[in-house]
Structure 1
Amino acid sequence: MKCGISFRGVEKTVELFNNINNLELDKIPSFTCIRKWLGRIGLYEMNREKEYRNDWIFIIDFTLELGKQKVLVVLGISQQQLESEIIPDGRGLHHKDVELLGLEIMDSTKGENIKQKLDEITSRVGKPIQIVADHGSDLARGIKLYQQEHEDLIYTHDVTHAMALLLKHELNSDDRYQSFIQKCNMCRQQLQQTELSFLSPPTQRSQCRYFNIERLTDWGLNLLNCNIDTVTKLVRNSDPSVINKKIIDKLGWLVDYQAELIRWNQMTVLTRTLETQVKKLGINQQSLTCFKENEFDIPKGELLDFQQHIYDYIITQSSHIKNEKTFLSTSDVIESLFGKYKQFSARAPFKEMGQMLLTICLSTMNLTNSLVKNALETISFTDVEIWLAEVFGQSMLSKRKTLFSDLVDDTETV
């Protein structure tokens, strides 16, 4: 769980250390045995009764794989723990700072269904005082329906998604930025199989591309500011004059974007400044003042509208916070858990939901000897199989095996 190693990798690693260190294990656990152990411990954590509190902060998001189902994941941390442990350390949430309060597999993600799931979780663990999530349409509707019955609930738009949406709004309609993106793609194709491949622009993400546009702007600005003689020295066994000509031919177009690159870079610095601040210090009534003190100087008349949009976000998100309290501003921890889960699910024969979902539960656990012992004594693998059958039914791999097993191999008669 810590290293993201595969089940077969664990089996081989234990076998390797057994041979090297003479551990003299009677039997090396097989990868299927390890998978079963983790499934049992994960199901134990999912079903474990959680503390009933009135200061929960819910962190909510969906994850999905192949098929029509989505999984609503609800993590929780108490507001007391946030203010007493996390914020004084000036850090973001770690996986083990949160508890898994809900893992709900849903065929339909209509707002009414999400609200129903939140009601069920509330009846088990207590009413939250804050929910942090992105503004996906179904999720936002479900939370707002829930909020109608809990008017004192604070619904916070995750700062990472909010800043990405702000950049998307500004840059999607910017013809110069769109042409810059196109030229980066062309440039990468032209350079990737040449001696100048190390100068290629970074690959852009197919999704969520506005979460890290500084990779492109930094690349462009760094190239414009680097010494061309240094570049030619890095290309061994080549004529410097030929290399210089290639650099000008393939990368000379960057000069036309120098002013825009500076402006786009300033935009990302503004958003990252806010993200760093509120992820470490939380969000409260002093957040706007703190941001104004920390932001860098912008030339007068440039990016003032963009800057005001950031101010508006801070004002909106802090307007419901009272009594000098500090709340959470980001759902990064749930995105990180999804990333770890997909490390494991990517190795499955089909990218469908199944037992691998329980790795989300495992990632939040402090796996002590006593906890593992109690989990394995409480949950059998039969319990895991029953849960899988009730929630998911027959797997895609099982369906395919059933289908193909009926086919007659008549290749020898051809």
Structure 2
Amino acid sequence: MKRGAENVKTTAPVEVEKRSPPIDIKDADQTRVLCVLLTLNAVVSYRSVPRILELFKSKTNYAVSWIPHFTSVINWSLRLGLGCLTQVQAITKPWVAIIDHSIDIGTKKALVVLRVEVDTLSKRGAAVRLEDCECIGLTISEKVTGDTLYLEFEEIFNRAGKPLAIIKDRDATLNKGVRLWSNQQEVPVPTIDDIGHTIATALKAQFEKLDIYKRFTALISHGAKCMRQTELAFLKWFNKTGHF
């Protein structure tokens, strides 16, 4: 009997893998909308969104059946922006275009074109706000020339319509691209140089050879680098060229 008992092998109980219940499609859509609204309306970071949902789930009666990863929130927000760009159309009201290149990141530049209605400018009576602007063009390029900008302006303004005027800085490449596009129109579109860049360029031309100016810009540049990853990074500083 002992030998027979020894030959009997005992099997360990099989652990059944616990699977989370399937996600309801309606709940998933509500969660996606809430995540995007938190980033756009509450202006919180992408990484903060899952933490906020965890707080809702643990401390409130709000039913949160699914906590997405922050990278999913990024993708949903980007899809929303792309959807808005694909729906850009011409409007009947007069408007002006604000054009600028983003600060260089790596080897690429981002060209941004905003539309602001003239009525909004007159009613505001001050600097425009984010809600006053509509992004009608966004392109990413590694090589930027006047000719490439002309082609990009041609595509953007063919879709969004012709602006009453174009507001830009005094960048030479941007100036050439705008000039090439404007010269192709029946009536050239007037351009308005950004007052901040215009004054900064004039001041730089007047003072850039002075040692005190060089020390001043070097000090500002060093201070900006020190504050870049701190809680004061939102402050606006001079860049290396002396522009705001």
Confirm or deny: 8 A CA contact 2:217 2:240 kept in the other structure: no
- Structure of higher RCO (CA pairs closer than 8 Å, 6+ residues apart): 1
Q: Does 1:96 align with 2:131?
A: yes
Give the match for residue 114 of structure 1.
Answer: 149
Q: Residue 193 of structure 2 is aligned with which of 157, 167, 175?
A: 157
Higher helix share: 1
Q: Does 1:13 align with 2:49?
A: no
1:1-400 matches, within 5 Å, as 1-2=40-41, 4-53=43-92, 55-83=94-122, 85-86=123-124, 90-150=125-185, 151-178=187-214, 205=238, 207-211=240-244
Counting matched residue pairs gives 189
Q: Distance in 1 between matches of 2:204 and 2:240?
A: 12
Higher strand share: 2
CA deviations on 1:28-79 (whole Å, 9 max, x unpaired) are 2332332232122111111113233472311101125444332211111122
Structure 1 portions without partners, runs of 5+:
189-203, 212-414
The 1:18/1:123 distance shift into structure 2, 3 A limit, reads same
The 1:68/1:97 distance shift into structure 2, 3 A limit, reads same
Structure 2 portions without partners, runs of 5+:
1-39, 224-236
Identical aligned residues as a percent: 28
Normalised by the length of structure 2, the TM-score is 0.67
Confirm or deny: 8 A CA contact 1:135 1:157 kept in the other structure: yes
The AA in structure 2 aligned to 1:56 is: W
CA deviations on 1:337-368 (whole Å, 9 max, x unpaired) are xxxxxxxxxxxxxxxxxxxxxxxxxxxxxxxx
Confirm or deny: 8 A CA contact 2:112 2:138 kept in the other structure: yes
The 1:206/1:159 distance shift into structure 2, 3 A limit, reads closer
Structure ID, larger Rg: 2
Normalised by the length of structure 1, the TM-score is 0.41
